[in-house]
Amino acid sequence: MTPLERWNPTVKLAVVLVLSTAALLVTDPVTPALCYVLTLGALLVLGRVPVRTAALAHVPFLVFGTSLLVVNVVTRPGGEQVPLGPFTVGADGLALGLCLALRTLFVGMLSVTLVLTTEPVRLMTSLHQHARLPASWTFAVLAAHRLLTELPEVWHTVRCAQAVRDPRRRRGHLPRSPRALATAAFALLVGAIRRAERIAVALESRGLGSGPRTTARPVPLARGDVVAAVVVLALAGAVVVAGAYGGWLTGIGRLTA
């Protein structure tokens, strides 16, 4: 396991929530940019995530961040005029747009780091142990996660079954008509409902929620997990302090100024 995978999931989730919430209070582009670089470096070095995987994970956040940048540049004309290619935009809108875009990348990479370096079962077990999450919630989330992870395979199976029954099919091609896709989606939905019902019956028959339960593979909470959280938060605090002394740090009061 990588260092990020060994980190206790409950502590890791708490740190991600704290950093994501604190990022909402910053309105300058430099602070989220520095935090984004540090997060990406941790994901690649400590999480040992392939560069291609990390690059693909950027796509939705880049799209959303670009839209925030464009909207703020167009709707906030205040400040000095800054030439941007063939256009001239306001410095206030450009700075705030860059801040929101970089904040999106920072929070997005925090989420990606949590998802790619945390096993779902280990996360829910840790939350049940250390965050006192009820067992009924834990098993419900794990059951829903398993259903979601099985959907792509079930979808492919349904589509292959459609191709076998289609007399006009071509070898190596699945039917792509709207009717075929709608039929496959309906079959997928019905199958998911039936599987969910069977899981619910199985959990109820095993006495889920009837009393205290033991944990088969407990997730330890060691001193190193807390030390790692303190180090990460201290590093984020150092970035904020550097911004305050460097003069680039601004808060939410800038929005009403």
Per the listing, tokens 């959280």 go with 229
* 168, pLDDT greater than 80: no
> Do the Cβ atoms of 68 and 100 come closer than 8 Å?
yes
pTM (two decimals): 0.80
* 40, pLDDT greater than 60: yes
Tally of CB atoms within 10 A around 236: 20
Q: Say how far apart CA 223 and CA 118 lie, in whole Å.
A: 19
Reported as type and span, the H/E element at residue 227 is helix 223-246
pLDDT at 8: 93
> What average pLDDT does the chain have?
84
Q: Say how far apart CA 166 and CA 185 lie, in whole Å.
A: 17
Beta strands in the chain (DSSP E): 81-84, 87-90
pLDDT digits (tens, 9 = 90+) for 44-86: 999 999 999 999 999 999 999 999 888 887 777 766 666 666 6
The pLDDT confidence band at residue 38, using thresholds 50, 70 and 90, is very high
Coil, strand or helix at 33: helix
Reported as type and span, the H/E element at residue 184 is helix 178-205
Q: Say how far apart CA 143 and CA 231 lie, in whole Å.
A: 34
CA dihedral 102, 108, 113, 114 (to 10 degrees): 140
pLDDT digits (tens, 9 = 90+) for 118-155: 998 888 888 888 888 887 788 778 888 888 888 889 88
pLDDT digits (tens, 9 = 90+) for 190-215: 888 888 888 878 777 766 666 666 77
Which of 177 and 61 is assigned the larger pLDDT? 61
